[in-house]
Structure 1
């Protein structure tokens, strides 16, 4: 995949004075090593690396603010970096500049178990967070699969497998500490359960992908660990039967915690990768949370619905180790699919539609993939209408890339026609920019641009993501990837 051709003409060289100031500020936590820069110039997308000029490791909000003031003075781009697990080119340094790695900001600031909240530095990962609070009887449910940082999850408005019951980061972030483009430190929100005090800046920064400010601390909701957890898998003769089972389950108000769909290609891949023996048919993976009685009641009702749609029987996983193995296999699906075409790269894309249109959207997308003879899998958090298409491509074959991008474009157009969205949880980054006008309309995009210019008049906060800034910044989704 090639870097967009016009970027070289607008990339500013890094001033020696800025580099020296960063070295004085951070000492050995400032590096221009090519290996480190290339590592920070890629994510899990299929783009070629676009490295920054320098990588810095911040440990406090004050350090981030000092870095931002320097970059603002010299008008040099800043790219916040968490775990590098994003999928749409979010952390690529299109215009060079300074990547601010927040992974060393990994301290638990405060745990308020009585209020079911905790405040963490942005570099704390979701697994670390749950390990730190395991003795409180609480947990943080947002699970995008990767061990992403909480700051990155807030910045991309992440969700994942538990969203059908617990919501997304939008519903679970209460307050933020944010460093602005000119180095000010602001607090948004509080630990109060609700507020009507002024503009909701917290929701504005959640999902802003580092284009409006750098999130350094996050206050999130916690939830009591359920008394009982049970998981089950069931297979179907068709994807339509599997998805219609989910639709009916949601429409009947069954409070399932998780429900994941894997098509037969996905099941075949995880069987080989994780040494499982699941039937290689469309599959649903359920999880139920609650009291012993409510879990049993939910499971029996869902089992009846599934049977009415031709399910091939439930297989239960009540022991924690069995559940963990199933969910680990689901989260490994991306890596399992890569084994189906050694040497390939994956284009992973998503959309989200109203639950009543989900089966139609998935089946039409599946037909499109089959028609174009591409190695693919459709996997979804189908309980909230969100699904992913993973396509294995040769990144050096323009025809292969064009085929996959065509499938992606038609999938998004299909979702928007169903009153859905171009991305349910991946975010926009570089890859989805071209679809925003189609989804929101030019007037809404112009309003987003006004906000961007007000928060970041020099366009130094993760430039080239979400919205096009000006005429000479061509949208990467419209250029050769």
Structure 2
């Protein structure tokens, strides 16, 4: 959705000392700086709208300070989610935040990423224990103090959370100390079909209210279910669908499955069978993670834009139904998918880039959806970030005082506005 804006130069620092040296040089000459991880962000966050130097941090890929006893590990920006979990294989631990893309973990910190497991394991924010940050002038900051990885702290301002979701506007995240989790003893996944999206979302709400400890609960509307079925060669009915996954002990899992089945049937849904073998579960979740490509396959030659709103669980059924009606009225192709366990959902809008009228309708719909979420007490972005496109919605969400406070923080850390200028604020 955002026009490409290349930088004037690209550098590939190999270690934190080189990041410091390069940042100090750019700061001295008042040159804009844009951090880059893997480039999987969705809101134009790595566009160099004022030129300057792109810092590609992908060659800093060290995994260190792994503590199995403390459930923590430190990673540099070149380490991706899959690379970390591959490194952890055999330890009994994993990092569960899964945004779909094999993103840089420091990039996931920068955008405040989330994903399919957030309903049980949380988003990036509670899973970050410490950050090593190179500030715009080249100085080094450890947000929780050098070498610290305590599970909690009441020591002053929460500097770590300040940088989570900062989208490269406050400094370079050159290392993140992350919280790890034990692998579950047993896992079961299922695909549940419903007579309507409203029934599927209502079932989600009741599953959460009944305290069924789901690890994942993902919604696909009728259009997306059909698209994923064809693209991934699954035999899914073209109906509103929930992908469910439960984590627990062998004994506890059987009870959880029974609870889930009862609630699904109560809302007119059906569960054909539970998949417990890793290969079966991987096949199901691969289809979910391929939803973007399945949506694009609905209109070959078109491009896509993913919306990203999050609302309180109680408001989710009404907002989803109203959004479907809005899509129909606007004449847009926008299959819906979402991490509905925490109220977050996306419409993948597929449109022809050479049709200005359709592009305008996509833009207008995305703004209406953002404002609909705000009116429901939600947020204009649950996980993708603000980037270039949601700055006006952020102002409406936080209000003048909130945005002014953010500007003051930005001015204190980056008085010359060199870090990723033009984003967020």
Settle same-fold status: TM greater than 0.5. yes
> Which of 154, 175, 182 is the equivalent residue of 2:137?
182
The Cα offsets for residues 187-215 of structure 1, whole Å up to 9 and x where unpaired, read as 11121111111211100001100000110
Deviation at 1:357, TM superposition (A): 0.5
> What SS is found at the alignment partner of 1:425?
coil
CA distance in 1, matches of 2:389, 2:53: 21
CA distance in 2, matches of 1:59, 1:322: 40
- Does 2:15 match 1:55? no
> Which of 119, 132, 146 is the equivalent residue of 1:164?
119
Deviation at 1:85, TM superposition (A): 0.6
Counterpart position of 1:94? 49
Q: Which moved more, 1:309-318 or 1:298-307?
A: 309-318
> What SS is found at the alignment partner of 2:382?
coil
Equivalences for residues 28-427 of structure 1 within 5 A = 46-189=1-144, 190-427=148-385
CA contact (8 A) 1:303 1:314 kept: no
Counterpart position of 2:424? 466
CA distance in 2, matches of 1:120, 1:429: 24
Q: Which moved more, 1:411-420 or 1:159-168?
A: 411-420
CA distance in 2, matches of 1:47, 1:209: 16
Deviation at 1:448, TM superposition (A): 0.6
Deviation at 1:126, TM superposition (A): 0.4
CA distance in 2, matches of 1:395, 1:431: 17
> What SS is found at the alignment partner of 1:136?
coil
> What SS is found at the alignment partner of 2:188?
strand
Deviation at 1:179, TM superposition (A): 0.3
The Cα offsets for residues 169-193 of structure 1, whole Å up to 9 and x where unpaired, read as 1100000000000000111112111
> What SS is found at the alignment partner of 2:214?
coil
CA distance in 2, matches of 1:322, 1:88: 33
Deviation at 1:57, TM superposition (A): 1.1
Q: Which moved more, 1:237-246 or 1:55-64?
A: 55-64
Name the TM-score, length of structure 2 as normaliser.
0.98
Deviation at 1:313, TM superposition (A): 2.9
Q: Which moved more, 1:330-339 or 1:314-323?
A: 314-323
CA contact (8 A) 1:264 1:283 kept: yes
Name the TM-score, length of structure 1 as normaliser.
0.87
CA distance in 1, matches of 2:212, 2:154: 32
CA distance in 2, matches of 1:315, 1:243: 20
CA contact (8 A) 2:190 2:271 kept: no
CA distance in 2, matches of 1:247, 1:144: 22
Would you say how many aligned residue pairs link Structure 1 and Structure 2? 422
CA distance in 2, matches of 1:296, 1:418: 36
CA contact (8 A) 1:75 1:458 kept: yes
Counterpart position of 1:436? 394
The Cα offsets for residues 398-425 of structure 1, whole Å up to 9 and x where unpaired, read as 2111101111111111111111011110
Deviation at 1:323, TM superposition (A): 0.4
Q: Which moved more, 1:360-369 or 1:190-199?
A: 190-199
CA contact (8 A) 2:163 2:170 kept: yes
Q: Which runs of 5+ in 1 are unaligned?
A: 1-45, 468-481
CA distance in 2, matches of 1:213, 1:447: 18
CA distance in 1, matches of 2:271, 2:174: 47
Q: Which runs of 5+ in 2 are unaligned?
A: none
RMSD of the TM alignment (CA)?
0.9
> What SS is found at the alignment partner of 2:406?
helix
CA distance in 2, matches of 1:418, 1:373: 24
CA distance in 2, matches of 1:387, 1:56: 36
CA distance in 1, matches of 2:342, 2:31: 40
